[in-house]
Structure 1
């Protein structure tokens, strides 16, 4: 598995809505994540900075990258755009983090 870590940014006051939407994650979105090799997905929130910290394990970087262009993923991005910083295509503004330590 390949471990990926990244940050995203919420708009102020949107953490509860963000959490609600993820707690009600659409079954077809869950299926797509697994179909494209995503596992063990966690998102945490830093209230001081409105920063989300994501962690996901993927089977294959190329396969995972293809998930961005699925219709369900595009629909999810549209749904989430009102609560977080996004790019012009409505994908979340993500900044990859460099892993500096890991222990199993």
Structure 2
């Protein structure tokens, strides 16, 4: 399983509309995200427009390819593109990813603390 984090910048003047467009997302787009193999997907939006996305997947290349070929995702991303600053291409395909530098569950087994934390 891969954990993927992306970072984008939403145009400050469009923050409220961006929030509204995600409450709720089109049901057919939700189905495409799930069919692509993305799970535990969240978006976090800061007051200044910084957007952080997180999801888990077994194969991010396959998920990206699935969504790139999806007419539903293409329509959604075409509508979403205007919200972002400095992005060249579809948001779902061009969003820069952030490298993971720490994950608690990866380090607990070798820390000697796992037994203590699971006893709490």
TM-score calculated relative to the size of structure 1: 0.86
Alpha-carbon offset, residue 62 of structure 1: 2.5
- Tell me, what secondary structure is at the counterpart of 2:13? coil
> What is the alpha-carbon distance in structure 1 between the residues aligned to residue 32 and residue 6 of structure 2?
20
Structure 1 segments, 4+ long, off by >6 Å, are none
Higher relative contact order (CA 8 A, sep 6+): 1
Alpha-carbon offset, residue 26 of structure 1: 0.7
- Tell me, what secondary structure is at the counterpart of 1:74? helix
The structure that is helix-richer by fraction is: 2
How many residues align? The count is 101
> What is the alpha-carbon distance in structure 1 between the residues aligned to residue 103 and residue 15 of structure 2?
28
The structure that is strand-richer by fraction is: 1
Which residue does the alignment assign to 2:58?
Answer: 59
Alpha-carbon offset, residue 16 of structure 1: 1.4
Residues 24-59 of structure 1: CA deviation (Å, up to 9, x unaligned): 2111100001111011111112224x2101101112
> What is the alpha-carbon distance in structure 2 between the residues aligned to residue 5 and residue 62 of structure 1?
14
Q: Which runs of 5+ in 1 are unaligned?
A: none
Alpha-carbon offset, residue 101 of structure 1: 0.8
- The structure having more radius of gyration, on CA atoms, is 2
Which residue does the alignment assign to 1:81?
Answer: 81
Determine if the alignment matches structure 1 residue 94 to structure 2 residue 95: yes
> What is the alpha-carbon distance in structure 1 between the residues aligned to residue 83 and residue 30 of structure 2?
20
Over aligned residues, Cα RMSD in angstroms?
A: 1.5
